[in-house]
Chain A
Amino acid sequence: MAKTQGKVHSIISNLVLVKVEGPVSQNEICFIEENGERLMAEVIKVVKDLAYVQVFESTRGLKPGMPVEFQNHMLEVSLGPGLLSKNFDGLQNDLDKMTGVFLKRGEYTNPLEEDKKWSFTPLAKVGDRVKAADWLGNVKENWLDHKIMVPFKMEGEYTVESIVPAGEYTILDVVAVLKDAAGKKYDITMVQKWPVKVAIRNYVDKPRPFRQMETGVRVIDTMNPMLEGGTGFIPGPFGTGKTVLQHTLARFADADVIIMAACGERANEVVEIFTEFPELQDPRSGRSLYERTTIIANTSNMPVAAREASVYTAMTIGEYYRAMGMKVLLLADSTSRWAQALREMSNRMEELPGQDAFPMDLSAIISNFYARAGMVFLNNGKTGSVTFIGTVSPAGGNLKEPVTESTKKVARCFYALSQARADSKRYPAIDTLESYSKYLEYPEFVEYAKKNISENWIADVNEVRNMLVRGRETSEQIDILGDDGVPLDYHLVFWKAELIDFVILQQDAFDNIDGSTSMERQQYMLNKVLEVVRSNFEFDSFEEVNPYFKRIINGFKQMNYSEFQSEHFKKFEAEVEEIIKERKSV
């Protein structure tokens, strides 16, 4: 198909109007040529023969009349082995392949390696009937089984005409030939392209999530669980530990593949991931964490239109691995920056603004995006999932702003970070009582917890939650009436809630042991704490309560810092039990 040509007509920052000489489609990609540099842009509006394109690069020096060539396709990513352990920008350029310290305008690099050989094992046989997303073969990508699939774009049923034997192949070698009903043959390689703004839907069914996604973070796993294929969001004013929490999740969550989209955030945070992840050990495989991680880095100083694309690029790669039957965890930090990119463009196009000058369809765009997450049953009956957790950076810490409100409507888990907790260094600063996980009410999860955690798990968690509510109420009473103005029992309730806070809710993300807690250990500690919560204690005056509970808390904290069931752990456990005996009523 011939490519439509055009010429630059007008320039307003990164919005460029192009006078076109043929057909163009919405979201089509084009390149503007400026003195030998080719600047990538995307059509976002067409008025008569003027195409409005958002340029993914700086438009400095661009002049009217410069030639533009349209590409007949939308913004696409390449999907194939070699996506893991990569650092991409928002348009899937491999940042490591770029030359020079500074990003060069118009430099686009191949996301995959064309000359690298992969060890391919066929899964399909000649004569097999296959359709899009069916597995044809297997390739070892690091230690993961990367499935080579029938390209998602292929419609209808095909017969496997031929497939190569096990061996070493590059991504461009033909590994299989498929034949459609009319006898037309198609060469299949290990790489395929997919437009990022379109969801990959080649699965049989998308049920409600039911399996827990362990994260190692107690306040999430115990109090507000996340499920495989679930959605959640973390809003928080700056300085409340949002990013540390995301990094902890990336490290310890029970996922096969981690995709981190650093969307309009600080470059040094991305550098932290680049530097630390290769060093960190994956707790399950013992290999480097980096081997199962892909990073999409479009930091705040990189072009704003590419920032908008970056979350879609990340989601598409996530969906690709989901189609292989993997558990994918997608973290986006921060979706507010993405929304701001939408706002900047909407503003330049002089659209009538919605609330806070955001585009009117912001809410629809956000819910469409969250809807792409989920657990699915694949064609072969296996499951795969994309769990999505996004952060939101509410302007002025006000949760009533449009991005937070729109997100709240669609995300099933809400992890509220609290300034007050952050100020008093109670990390992670998730306010348990403000937060929720709607999955706790899912009968599917209640069943799961009964079978996999403990018979009374949900009831225990609710008991702890109630204690925290009572603790908060009594703490307010004590503040109003004074320490000696309330019955002694109030102090007891308050300190029991503090015990839960210090031992279960607070967690030292930087400690090797306390940083991540297994579900078994969480269940064990919750029971230990509940024993104290359910006990009665004898005190003569309220002044004895504080130091006594501080000793219990101190003992429990030392347990948290010790290897589970180690000698150290048991020693502190015995100490705590001694302290409890001192005052426990019989």
Chain B
Amino acid sequence: MNTAFQKVYTKITQITKATCSLKAQGVGNDELAIVNGRLAQVVKIWGEDITLQVFSGTEGIPTNAEVTFLGKAPTLKVGDDLCGRFFNAFGDPIDGGPAVDGEEREIGGPSVNPVRRKQPSELIATGIAGIDLNNTLVSGQKIPFFADPDQPYNQVMANVALRAETDRIILGGMGLTNDDYLYFKNLFDNAGVLDRIVSFVNTTEAPPVERLLVPDMALTAAEYFAVDRNEKVLVLLTDMTLYADALAIVSNRMDQIPSKDSMPGSLYSDLAKIYEKAVQFPAGGSITIIAVTTLSGGDITHAIPDNTGYITEGQLFLRKDTEIGKVIVDPFRSLSRLKQLVIGKKTRKDHPQVMNAAIRLYADAANARTKLENGFDLTDYDKRTLEFAKDYSNELLAIDVNVSINQMLDTAWTLFRKYFTRSELGIKKEIVDEFGNFSD
């Protein structure tokens, strides 16, 4: 590192809300700098003109501010001391504890060579049937909750994190309200699991551009535990919509031409760099990412959820089922793309067919409900699907369910027997014979 000669610059030529520019030499791309005591990063070099993105905003920065370059990209000190601690977006402690001592690593490091990845194959059980039965999670997977802001996504995510069998949990909070931050803090404290959790938190009280560092900080810590320690790491990122909004702010300040929904044209690559850190390493360590992308009015065609959906391995939708008055994991719109790797293989072999049959019958119920709402008579089959849907929603889809996968399958068969005949299920005969327990 060439910090030996730290030249101080004092002539800023341009200031916008998030960036400032000056003339300097020997500056590297992505390098950090201190502007008037605030952390900044080089985002553009045009000959001698250097543009810096000031993370905490440029309010009050004078044109004669002192600027020094640090000769390095953003780093995080990694080590076991990270555990149980809360940090801000720069990796500095916010829990009153001492600074962490450890090996200093650049954040946002290189990608894993795809041929060195291992195919994910370990099931992550959560006890929630809407997830385990219909949208089974696998270690090394990346999956977001798509949820409206009023839905209890942080609670569900925290539940998943605490129930899942992992060695380490890393929380990356972006634009968390102080209340949510304290919710996570108390929950982890009370569950007595604080020592396996590391948190990087940018609350709404901190400037938005700072949160651009949070995912990379969290994932650098995750890579340390997964690669150096061969641990199974679960990374929680909430809320990625606020992260993307911060990207848009910076790109706007740099006069870039926006693409769809005022988002930068590189949104897909920017998000992919984060989510693709999810990986199963051959040595046994893994990084699984569960994220939250809040939607506005359930609109998944907006650029943020849309690009996310193309990157992540599925998505989980929460929906309030008014029929039973509970929040359920929506079986139609939710999807875990990696479930094929475990269902029927790591779980009972009737799992895939039971899952599909139940969802198909649930879809029939939705059609029957439309008929009912339009004032038509229902057939006997229609009525049975409606009854089935209610039980299915209550006993399996609701997020308060907490049972084993075999129990979920047995429950589904019980409902099948209660409402349907064999031929109405459309399940392979051998499977019905073995698991169905139909009396006929």
Contacts and interface: CB of A to CB of B under 8 A. Distances in A.
A304 B159 CA distance: 36
Contact of B29 (A61, A100, A104, A357): A61
Nearest to A342: B265
Contacts of B67: none
A364 interface: no
A424 B315 CA distance: 17
B370 A479 contact: yes
A60 B315 contact: no
Contact of B47 (A9, A274, A551): A9
Interface string A543-575: 100110011011001100100000000000000
Interface of B is mostly: loop
Interface residues of B, number: 84
A267 B279 contact: yes
Given A60-B29, A343-B259, A103 B110 contact: yes
Given A267-B279, A397-B301, A63 B265 contact: no
Contacts of A264: 268-269, 272
A219 B377 CA distance: 34
Contacts of B337: 239, 243
A267 B276 contact: yes
A482 B368 CA distance: 11
B348 interface: no
B113 A103 contact: yes
Interface stretch (B13-21, B198-206, B407-415, B423-431): B423-431
B264 to A, nearest CB: 8
Interface string B307-348: 101110111000000000000000011010110110000000
A62 B113 contact: no
A62 B111 contact: no
Which of B30, B114, B426 has the most C-beta atoms of chain A within 10 angstroms of its own C-beta?
Answer: B114
B31 A424 contact: no
Contact of B376 (A237, A274, A482): A482
Contact of B111 (A102, A272, A424, A546): A102
A98 interface: yes
A299 B338 CA distance: 17
B79 interface: no
Given A64-B47, A101-B116, A396-B306, A58 B260 contact: no
Given A239-B335, A347-B265, A483-B379, A87 B114 contact: yes
Interface string B333-365: 101011011000000000010001001100100
Which of A61, A87, A100, A485 has the most C-beta atoms of chain B within 10 angstroms of its own C-beta?
Answer: A61
Given A63-B27, A300-B272, A396 B301 contact: yes
Given A60-B29, A300-B276, A271 B379 contact: no
Interface of A: 9-13, 58-65, 87, 95-96, 98, 100-105, 237-239, 243, 264, 266-268, 270-272, 274-276, 297, 299-302, 304, 334, 337, 340, 343-344, 347, 350, 353, 356-358, 393, 395-398, 423-425, 479, 482-485, 510, 543, 546-547, 550-551, 553-554, 557-558, 561
25 contacts: A11-B44, A12-B45, A58-B110, A60-B29, A60-B30, A61-B31, A101-B113, A101-B282, A104-B110, A267-B279, A268-B117, A271-B114, A272-B119, A299-B272, A299-B276, A300-B268, A300-B276, A334-B310, A347-B256, A347-B259, A396-B303, A482-B374, A483-B371, A483-B376, A510-B352
Closest 4 CB pairs of A and B: A396-B301, A300-B272, A301-B276, A482-B376
